């Protein structure tokens, strides 16, 4: 993450907070499944398969598939040569979250499907050389890298290289707290807050990129 500027790291932290927020809302909506954390859904799928619980397998497997489709959509919406690629990804995420919020208001279980698509697409914001350089919807890799950087620091290396990874984890966790609190107060309408946040970040990026042209 040393290759990224401070504004880029701030953007990553904001998007991680958004991912934590939406994942917490989805978790509470679905009663223990995730719309962002696919490692958790993979474990649930495996447990469901072992127990012969086809409902668990279908729910977890469906969410995993939708997340992957969202990643594909986000990558296709944001060719790396295009200056507006991050804005285009966040516009897609905003539209998907708005649909998720509207469906939640109708009491439709399809709300979670659109939230999973949105979280998959969100990862495409940080494409670099054909890969996702910063994963903003999952933190296992960030925690591993944080531990590695702390180990290097203990051996006499750079002291604060772990800080960006800690920031990402704290951002996602804080977002999850806010998502759970929002869902407790306004239910599925909490997704509108997430859609508004994505739209706000997209607008700010568009304004910045427009000034840079």
Q: In this structure, are residues 59 and 45 in contact, taking their beta carbons and an 8 Å threshold?
A: no
- For 55-61, the CB contacts below 8 A with 24+ separation are 59/30, 59/33, 60/33
Encode 181-205: b = buried (16+ Cβ within 10 Å), e = exposed. Answer: ebbeeeebebbbbbbebbbebbeeb
Which one-letter DSSP state was computed for residue 118? H
Assess whether pLDDT exceeds 60 at residue 2.
no
Mean pLDDT to the nearest integer, 92-111: 97
In the chain, helix, strand, coil percent, each to 5? 75, 0, 20
Q: Is 106 helix (H, G, I), strand (E, B) or coil?
A: coil
Q: Identify the pLDDT of residue 4.
A: 64
Assess whether pLDDT exceeds 60 at residue 70.
yes
Report the percentage of the chain scoring pLDDT > 70.
Answer: 92
Q: In this structure, are residues 77 and 121 in contact, taking their beta carbons and an 8 Å threshold?
A: yes
- How far is residue 85's CA from residue 65's CA, in Å, rounded to a whole number? 24
* Residues 127-180: tens digit of each pLDDT: 776 666 677 878 888 889 899 999 999 999 899 989 989 999 999 999 999 999
Assess whether pLDDT exceeds 70 at residue 37.
yes
Is domain 7-208 classified as CATH 2.40.30?
no
Q: In this structure, are residues 161 and 6 in contact, taking their beta carbons and an 8 Å threshold?
A: no
φ, ψ of residue 158 to 5 degrees: the values are: -55, 135
Q: Which of 204, 194, 171 is nearest to 12 (CA)?
A: 171
Assess whether pLDDT exceeds 70 at residue 184.
yes
Assess whether pLDDT exceeds 70 at residue 42.
yes
| Cα–Cα distances in angstroms (integers) from residue 104 to residues 19, 130, 139, 179, in the given order | 18, 34, 27, 15
Residue 63: pLDDT band with limits 50, 70, 90: very high
Q: In the chain, what are the domain boundaries?
A: 7-208
Assess whether pLDDT exceeds 60 at residue 1.
no
Assess whether pLDDT exceeds 60 at residue 213.
no
- How far is residue 36's CA from residue 20's CA, in Å, rounded to a whole number? 8
């Amino acid at each position: 993450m040393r290759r990224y500027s401070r504004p880029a790291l701030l953007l990553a932290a904001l998007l991680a907070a958004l991912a934590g927020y939406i994942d917490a809302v989805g978790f509470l909506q679905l009663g223990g499944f995730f719309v962002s954390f696919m490692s958790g859904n993979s474990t649930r799928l495996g447990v469901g398969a072992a127990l012969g619980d086809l409902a668990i397998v279908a729910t977890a497997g469906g969410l995993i598939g939708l997340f992957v489709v969202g990643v594909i959509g986000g990558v296709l919406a944001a060719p790396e040569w295009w200056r507006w690629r991050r804005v285009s990804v966040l516009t897609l995420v905003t539209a998907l979250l708005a649909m998720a919020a509207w469906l939640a208001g109708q009491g439709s279980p399809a709300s979670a499907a659109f939230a999973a698509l949105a979280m998959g697409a969100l990862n495409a914001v940080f494409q670099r050389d054909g890969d996702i350089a910063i994963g903003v919807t999952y933190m296992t890799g960030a925690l591993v890298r944080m531990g590695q950087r702390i180990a290097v620091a203990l051996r006499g290396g750079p002291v604060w290289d772990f800080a960006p990874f800690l920031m990402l984890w704290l951002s996602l966790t804080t977002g999850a707290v806010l998502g759970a609190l929002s869902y407790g107060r306004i239910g599925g309408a909490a997704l509108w807050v997430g859609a508004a946040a994505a739209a706000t970040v997209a607008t700010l990026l568009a304004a910045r990129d427009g000034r840079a042209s």
